[in-house]
């Protein structure tokens, strides 16, 4: 976000950082598991 002063000139930039590494890794594991389950011709039990 760009913050401007009373004259409309840029004063400061405010930003945030969010590390989504773990989320992306979990999504990838879910894709692999989903693919295995969808392609399986046998019953699968998860506990």
What SS3 state is found at 22?
A: helix
Give 13's strand partners: 2
Owning domain of residue 35: 2-39
Backbone region of residue 3 per phi and psi (left: phi > 0; alpha: psi in -120 to 50; beta: other values): beta
Residue 44 lies in a domain: no
pLDDT for 40 equals: 87
Residue 25 lies in a domain: yes
The number of distinct structural domains making up the chain is 1
- Phi first, then psi, for residue 4 (nearest 5°) are -110, 155
Q: Whole-model pTM?
A: 0.53
User: How many Cα atoms within 13 Å fall on the side-chain side of residue 8?
Assistant: 0
- pLDDT of the chain along its 47 residues, tens only? 889 999 999 999 998 999 999 999 999 999 999 998 889 888 877 77
Within a domain: 45: no
Is residue 47 a part of any domain in this protein?
A: no
Give the separation between CA 4 and CA 7, rounded to whole angstroms: 8
């Amino acid at each position: 976000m760009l913050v401007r002063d009373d004259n409309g000139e840029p004063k400061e930039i405010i930003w945030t950082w969010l590390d989504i590494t773990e989320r992306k890794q979990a999504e990838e594991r879910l894709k692999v598991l989903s693919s295995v389950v969808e392609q399986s011709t046998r019953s699968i039990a998860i506990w």
